[in-house]
A and B are shown apart, each in its own frame.
Chain A
Amino acid sequence: MKEEVVAAENLRKSYETYLRRGLFNRERKVVEALKGVSFRIYRGEVFGLLGPNGAGKTTTVKILSTLLLPDSGVATVLGYDVVKEAVEVRRRIGVSLTVEKGFFWKLTGRENLMYFGMLYGMDGAELKQRVQKMLELVGLEELGSSDKLYEEYSLGMKARLSIARALLTDPELLILDEPTLGLDPPSARLLRELLIKVAHQEGKTVLITTHNMFEAEIMCDRLAIINEGTIVAMDTVEGLKKLVSDEITLEMLVVLPARVSLKQLREEISEVVSSRVEVDPMEEGTRIRVVMRPLEKEQATQEMLRRLHSMGCSVRRIEVKEPTLEDVFIELTGGN
């Protein structure tokens, strides 16, 4: 049975904001950030909260990090209530909320980690070794940047240090709010690889928020799509894709020998797949378009290629079109 690390049940949160109306007047406005959010995260899982800006991702993350109190609902981390047992929760989590700040500018990366380590109750040789290990793990040691002042760090280095701090106390749960936001592609890739490694090799549970579809797809074991304070869907990436369409489209461009007619070609392909087959003559060859179920894809494609080959057709191009996570996201969030 899977062990539950995070359990959120019907979390609700509203904020009061004020719209300025001139120098002395202001208008009170209540914004409902969370409207009953519930989800579970299991041990060793990389769980993603995917949503547009203002969807409630950061609010959820702050509640689980004990930095914000919910108006109602219950959330537990490793069985500890985030409101009533906040100190116990804090002992078991590592948090990264922003990558571009959150450290002392006049201290080096190593000194910053030493300070936060002590603040979190670590000391002595254990702390020194752990700091060294984290600096090596995130690659700052390799870059020769561990003993550089934080003010001299690039954004990529700052992000690495932020992950190092989150991992410093060897927490069971990592909570990361948009950890690759603003990073250049190589830095973002490095950080993603690092987080996947940490989750899968060291058995950490990771909660990550993002609005980057690619990142969500390659990193997360399961995803919750959140929009306007509500979770609109939650599943694996494949599961979510099925919500939008249960079919994939295979498109091929082939050149037929003179003896093969379009009718013959259509009949031959139709014997392989159960669904619709379109055959259209094009300038550079003949386009075959087949809509099929994902389970059919592998076997049917091989069989079609075998038959085309035996008919003497040469295949110029083959392309599989399936719904992307972006399609799912846009469908479920109404293009928000």
Chain B
Amino acid sequence: MGLWTLLKSGLVLDIYFFKNNRAQLVSMFAWPYILLALMLGMGFLFGSAETFKSNVGVEADPVVFFVASTLIAMASLSVMWEVGGTVLYHRWIGTLPYVLIAPYRTSITLVMSYIPRYLLWSFMQLSEFVPVLIWREGLVGGLADTLVMGLAIVIGMLPLLGFAAIFGSFLLTIKEETNVLSWLNPIILILSGAFYPAYLFPIWARFLSMLLPTTYTFELARLSSLVGAPKLAEMTFLIAVLLGMSFLYNALSFTLMGKAEKRALKSGAV
């Protein structure tokens, strides 16, 4: 009952926001297409779809490739912003103490109340791209791509929640309200291969890239853009890596969040 209402609280908060802020709802639907159009537009300035394939080195449809990238980039940013940055947001508007006195552990409150929001936003955005995917790949191919991307969104969320909660715990302890996330997020996206394939990076960057769950989420989503049927073995491998990372990062965040909460309560940062 408790955790269910906690999940529900996150969902109703978003529904209320959308109800009272129609412009936000419209912009949420428009944003992915604007981003996609920008990426494709710039891409076609540099060359054709064939040039893209030879440059990237994979047999991929550039439109589907960028749909996958856009979706995962937005979903990853969303997790980092909402879970990691929610502490800052609550502190700014003065709701932090009232959220912290909810009768759960802080890490649970922050993560659980965010899950419905993530799923709602991500699936709304994914559903927007279904017509584009069907246009590029046909009905069956388009739906299969949607399925793979949906899977990437759900599986990719699991390690990211823990990863973002670690940043949330860091932000909870500091009194200076520097918005670390605004400079951290673009770095994470670049290192995850959102803009350039990770295998082109220097060794140190590739090493960092391997530690980031977003790297594997991008890979998983992009499997859908490959010409021909997605490779099952590759998908299974990526899902296994993401599940392993989920366990690692969530266990770590649970421990760190407890420590951070204690530190914040001791120093009076709340």
Contacts and interface: CB of A to CB of B under 8 A. Distances in A.
Interface of A: 15-16, 59, 62, 65-69, 87-88, 90-91, 93, 95, 97-98, 100-108, 111, 114-116, 118-123, 149, 165
Given A90-B101, A95-B98, A102-B97, A119 B113 contact: yes
A123 B16 CA distance: 16
Interface string B29-59: 0000000000000000000000000000000
B13 A115 contact: yes
Interface stretch (B182-190, B230-238, B260-268): B260-268
B178 interface: no
13 contacts: A59-B268, A62-B270, A66-B101, A68-B268, A68-B270, A90-B101, A95-B98, A103-B93, A111-B20, A118-B6, A119-B109, A121-B1, A149-B20
Contacts of A103: 93-95
B200 interface: no
A135 to B, nearest CB: 16
B100 interface: yes
Given A107-B16, A108-B20, A111-B16, A87 B1 contact: no
B179 interface: no
Contacts of A106: 16-17, 20-21
B102 interface: yes
Contact of A105 (B1, B12, B93): B93
B28 to A, nearest CB: 14
Contacts of A108: 16, 20
A118 B9 contact: yes
Interface string B66-104: 000000000000000000000000000111011111111
Interface residues of B, number: 33
B136 interface: no
Contacts of B9: 115, 118-119
A177 to B, nearest CB: 10
B100 A67 contact: yes
Contacts of B103: 87-88, 90-91, 120-121
A104 B89 CA distance: 10
Nearest to A151: B20
Nearest to A102: B94
A236 B170 CA distance: 45
A15 B270 CA distance: 13
B13 A65 contact: no
Given A106-B16, A123-B5, 8 more contacts: A68-B265, A88-B103, A93-B101, A95-B98, A100-B94, A102-B93, A108-B16, A123-B4
